[in-house]
Amino acid sequence: MNANEAPTPEADHLSPEGTPLLVVGTLVAAQGLGGELRILPRSDFPERFTQPGPRWLLERQGVPRAVELLGGRQLPGKSLFAVRLAGVSSRDAAEALIHQEFLVDASQRPKLAPGEFHLLDLVGLQVRLLDAAAPATSPGAPIGRVVDLIHGGNDLLAVELAPGRRVLIPFVEAIVPLVNLQEGWIGLTPPPGLLEL
């Protein structure tokens, strides 16, 4: 089982104080007239958007700046959260923040149960081809490396097979049945043609 927290688009972002930060969502719209914002989460941990405390905002090509999350809630029937930030008290102020990334201190990653992992931990792992008949006993030779994650309806692993040649692999158990974080690799049983795309 995995837990989703998105890696930053570049390498790690750092706060002005040098704290490593992790992107957990994107501000996508104002919510009402009082300064609330809607966040599209890139994290499986709702407390990122509901528990008050320090957070950071990042404009494209900018430097992270500290903000205080006052509180938040999940919007009924949606995968969005509405949050209130200190100092943002009008719709105009909220709209000025749209499209910024929402970040947290990377050291505050939630604890996971045995056998769980953060999707962020997959970036950099070797990718090995498994024998579909006996995937647990045939780690196979490395064929590439996970270089990025793409979040949408389903998570996709961007795998570099050779310099300049990347393929997108759906991160589903039927295709990625093994994740071996200790040894630094994941195992694939891809359907015919997937690696040729």
- How much is the pLDDT for 67? 96
Q: What is the CATH number of the domain that holds 145?
A: 2.30.30.240
Please count the structural domains in the chain: 2
- The lowest-confidence range among 96-105, 119-128, 149-158 is 149-158
How would residue 134 be classed by pLDDT, with cut points 50, 70 and 90? Answer: low
**Is residue 79 one of the residues assigned to a domain?**
yes
Are 74 and 144 in a shared domain?
no
Are 101 and 7 in a shared domain?
yes
Are 62 and 154 in a shared domain?
no
- The lowest-confidence range among 21-25, 75-79, 116-120 is 116-120
Are 164 and 73 in a shared domain?
no
Are 54 and 144 in a shared domain?
no
pLDDT tens profile 136-148: 556 677 888 988 8
The last residue of one of the domains, among 66, 83, 108, is: 108
Nearest-angstrom CA–CA distance, 60 and 44 = 23
**Is residue 197 one of the residues assigned to a domain?**
no
Are 17 and 78 in a shared domain?
yes
Are 17 and 73 in a shared domain?
yes
Are 153 and 59 in a shared domain?
no
Q: Which residue has the higher pLDDT, 83 or 185?
A: 83
Q: What is the CATH number of the domain that holds 53?
A: 2.40.30.60
Q: Which residue has the higher pLDDT, 148 or 91?
A: 91
Provide the residue type at 153 as one letter.
G
pLDDT tens profile 150-193: 766 667 888 898 888 888 888 888 888 888 888 888 888 888 87
Are 103 and 8 in a shared domain?
yes
**Beta-bridge mates of residue 118:** 3
- How much is the pLDDT for 52? 96
Q: Report the b/e string of 150-186 with b at 16+ CB within 10 A.
A: ebeeebbbbbeeeeeebbebebeeeebebbeeeeebb
- How much is the pLDDT for 9? 38
| pTM across the whole model | 0.61
Q: Which domain holds residue 54?
A: 2-108
**Is residue 16 one of the residues assigned to a domain?**
yes
Are 21 and 75 in a shared domain?
yes
